[in-house]
Amino acid sequence: MYKTEAGKITVAAENLDVKATLECGQLFRFEKNDDFYTVKSGGNVCKVYATGEYVTIETAAVDFFVNFFNLDRDVNRTKRELSRFPELRLALESCGALRILRQPLFETIISFIISANNNIPRIKSILNRLCAQFGDVFPSPEQLAETSVRQLDAIGCGYRSQYILTTSKMCAETDILNRLYAARTPDAAKLLMGLTGVGQKVADCVLLFSLGRLDVFPVDTWILKTQRQGSETEMQLRTRLMDRYGGNAGYAQQVLYYYNAILKEKP
């Protein structure tokens, strides 16, 4: 599915749709250039570009980005399994080999706390300013716990500043991050929602985009707008679609979001 060598990963284009993967709302630390993307995670960076039948990922952190792009997972098998649902077929055909990323846990928690009631350009700007304070590296829980509300306000976090500070301190002072890796999905969701600023949707995003729990189904405005039946609540919709798509629910959510919020919204 992929080949690694010094400073480079080569992936067949049929196994990685770069645009769909990076622009489907699961990642904020990336920039789109004329013919390539720059992706940052933790203190690592890569350049990603497609050339015909292949995608090339240039980076000094090859092992990190093999894991980050989840390259050992067969997404085409997942798509085949989901294609039995007629309501997903057009979205599945439209999004190519969209991959669910494996992002660093603490970075994902803070990123999605910042994402609440926010838009993607502003989220990206806040995260860029935050990382700039630490040498263009995402800070550790201990580093972020030592900042102040005033510093976080200054980079645009607003009411989320206190959430970020309190959650960083909890992650720095307890073993919650290790417990999250080991916990079953329902227990991990409860642990996450015990953090300040983390509700069901943020918890689901962290479970999906960091911990690889594909049995969750985050519900955002677009999902509610396009998938709601009658007067369903967000939780009723979430439960119904998790039951319907089972262990591939998170992948179904991403292709539905990308198709409805990104592809169909283009002029």
Tens digit of each residue's pLDDT (9 = 90 or more) over 57-92: 999 999 999 999 999 999 999 999 999 999 999 999
Binned at pLDDT 50, 70 and 90, residue 265 comes out as low
Which residue type, as a one-letter code, is found at position 139? P
Specify the amino acid at residue 12. A
Q: Which of 40, 169, 201, 266 is catalytic?
A: 201
Residue 136, pLDDT above cutoff 70:
yes
pLDDT tens column, 1-36: 899 999 999 999 999 999 999 999 999 999 999 899
pLDDT confidence of residue 52: 87
- Contact residues for 64 (Cβ-Cβ < 8 A; gap 6+): 41, 42, 44
Q: Tell me which DSSP letter residue 248 carries.
A: G
Question: For residue 259, how many C-alpha atoms fall within 13 Å in the half-sphere facing its CB?
Answer: 21
**pLDDT tens digits for 210-236?**
999 999 999 999 999 999 999 999 999
What's the pLDDT score for residue 119? 92
What pLDDT was estimated at residue 264? 77
What integer pLDDT is reported at residue 230 of this predicted model? 95
40 is catalytic: no
Structure token digits, residue 9: 């990963």
pLDDT in the model for residue 260 = 92
Question: Per-residue pLDDT averaged across 98-104, rounded?
Answer: 98
Least confident of 157-166, 179-188, 256-265: 256-265
Residue range 183-196: average pLDDT? 98
* Cα distances (Å, whole numbers) of residue 126 to 87, 112, 244, 253, 257: 36, 12, 36, 26, 23
Does residue 143 have a pLDDT over 60?
yes
pLDDT exceeding 70 applies to what percent of the chain? 99
What is the predicted pLDDT for the residue at 262? Answer: 87
In percent, the amount of the chain with pLDDT more than 90 equals: 95
Q: Output the CA–CA distances (angstroms, integers) from residue 54 to 22, 57, 61, 92, in the order listed.
A: 16, 10, 19, 20
pLDDT of 208 > 90? The answer is yes
Q: Decide: 108 and 210 in contact? Cβ < 8 Å.
A: yes
Confidence of residue 158 (pLDDT cuts 50, 70, 90): very high
Q: What is the DSSP letter of 71?
A: T
pLDDT of residue 102: 98
Predicted structure pTM score: 0.96
